[in-house]
Each structure stands twice: as structure tokens, then as C-alpha cells.
Amino acid sequence: MTLNLVTTFLLLTTTLLLLLPTPSSSEFACKSSCGSLAIHYPFGTGPGCGSPGFQPHVTCDSDHQTLTFTTHTGSYPIQAIDYTNQVLYITDPSMSTCSSTTTSNGFSLDWNAPFTFFDGNIFALLDCSTSSSPLYSSNTTDVPLCDTSNAPICSLLYSCPAISLLNVPISTCCIYTPVSLGPSFEMDLKKLQCSSYSGIYSFHGAETDPSGWKFGIALKYRFSVDDGYPRACADCEKSHGVCGYSGQYNSFTCSCGNGMNTSTNCYFASASWSRGSRTVPLWIGIGLISSWWLVVAWIL
């Protein structure tokens, strides 16, 4: 009788422990930083982290050292993230700057990505064909693709030692503003017949000195249609957790430092250990196991 009772309790304990499993390696993947960059919602460091709408576009490498923005035209290192103004700053290794010049195919955003160009971005297309490029179309019914009001930027850029090595006339430079890119945000330099481009998102108080300009691309992002920060995610991050998602319907999860995922936050009182659709509150699990073994000890 006593042996059967002990066996029963052992089986019940084992069953409960199966409901409170050690999370898998993928559940440990969500980190609060990638290299020197702090990671907050909607971004994440891997699958199941951050927002599912952003995960395909912003990723952290396996060593958690480099955060990268990816489109169909390539992958680009992320310099900084302004979470207050919701702006992502990226660099393009194929972009021409005051310190280097290289050929490029251009830069484009994916049509379904939750990003747009931030106001103030300036694209200077370099070494463009003035005879056959659509930038210089003589058709007066077309909307001009070159912004002549910002033409001085071209002459300043060509004063850079690296860009001056192109040894081409300044007239082959075209200031191409984001509004000209159209709804697909496509900048195809081969189609436009230009060899390279420069992206400038800030003059950094040095309007006449291109060596002090901020070269790169600034992208505005939105959380959702109403652009509201999810309350559940704010509570999760306040408890030192990392926001993520799981399951068939990408349900919200809060990834905690000890590897435990919860549907709320990382505070002990509301934490739960989960596996699939089976969830048992931690305090209930500990209480039941303790009570069972107290009964077994009393009987024996």
C-alpha cells in the first residue's frame, strides 16, 4: 500500500515537472543588446524576439555583435537607433563618402517593410550619364528627378578628396530626394545610369564642410497602424524582460533572463513556465510538489 502510494506520487511529480520544462535553446535567444546597441521592441536579436513584422528586416548575427538591416538590395550595418523618435540609422558599404568612393547598385526598401525614409534624407547620385539617363529627360511632362535647389551639395561633395577622384563634371551629380523614389522606394542606379551615390541624413552643423556630414540613411519606423507602444511589452521591459512572440498566432511572450518565457512579465508573482499550450504558474507548481512530498514523508 505504502509502496503504491509512493509510486503514485512519483508519477504525479514527474507529470508536473514535464509541464514545467527547461526552455529550449531558441527560448534563450532573446537578448537586450546586440554589440553596443540596446535592443528594445519592435526589434529583436533572433526569431521569436521583438515584433514578427520587424524580425525579417532587422537581425543580430550569431555572435550578437552586429545588428543588420536587410532588404532585397543587400544587408546594411545599423549605426544607431533613436527609440524616442523611432528612427533607424544605417550605413551602406557601397556608398560614396568623403573618405571613400566605390561603385554601387543603389539602395531600396522592401515594399512590405514597416519603414519609410526619414525627412531630411538626401541622396546625391554621382557620375550619371547626362545624355541617356532618365534623370535628364527632356520630356517636360515628366516630374524632374533632380532637385536643382540643392545643387550646391554636389559641388561640396566633389570637393571631397575621395569623390574628386571620379574626375567627372559636377553636372553629372543629381540630388535625388526620397519623394522621387516612388511608392516602392526603389533607387536602381543601373537603370538611372549612375555609378555611385552618397546618402546624407544630417549636415551636423557643418553645412559647408562635407567632411563633417553624417553619411548614411535614416529610416522611420512604426509599431503598428495606430503607432502605439504595446502595454504588455512596456510591462515586460519594465521587469527587465525582452519582448517576443511564439506559437501559431505569434502570441506575445516576455523572455526573462533565466530562460523562462511568460505571457505577462518577469516578476516572480506573475511568472509562469510554459511549454506549448500547457502553462502552470510557478508558485502553484512549487507548492504542489512540496505538499506531495510532505505527505509522503508523513506516511513513511
**Domain segments of the chain as ranges:** 1-86+222-300, 101-212
In whole angstroms, what is the distance from residue 204 CA to residue 80 CA?
15
- pLDDT, position 116: 87
C-alpha cell at 293: 512530498
Question: Are the C-beta atoms of 48 and 30 separated by less than 8 Å?
Answer: yes
Sign of the Cα torsion 265, 267, 269, 272 reads positive
In whole angstroms, what is the distance from residue 19 CA to residue 42 CA?
30
C-alpha cell at 156: 561640396
User: Of the candidates 156, 93, 149, which has an alpha carbon nearest to the alpha carbon of residue 126?
Assistant: 156
User: Of the candidates 258, 245, 239, which has an alpha carbon nearest to the alpha carbon of residue 44?
Assistant: 245
Q: What is the pLDDT along the chain (300 residues), one digit of tens a residue?
A: 454 554 555 555 554 444 444 444 444 468 899 999 999 999 999 889 999 999 989 999 877 789 999 999 999 999 999 999 999 999 999 999 999 998 999 998 888 888 988 888 899 999 999 888 888 876 545 566 788 888 799 999 999 999 988 888 988 999 986 555 655 577 889 999 999 999 999 999 999 999 999 999 999 998 776 667 888 899 999 999 999 998 888 999 998 877 788 888 888 534 444 443 344 444 444 555 555 445 545 555
C-alpha cell at 105: 547598385
User: Of the candidates 193, 197, 195, 199, which has an alpha carbon nearest to the alpha carbon of residue 135?
Assistant: 193
Tell me, rounded to whole angstroms, the distance of Cα 58 from its chain centroid.
3
Count CB-CB contacts under 10 A for residue 69: 24
- pLDDT, position 223: 79
- pLDDT, position 19: 43
User: Of the candidates 98, 40, 47, which has an alpha carbon nearest to the alpha carbon of residue 214?
Assistant: 98
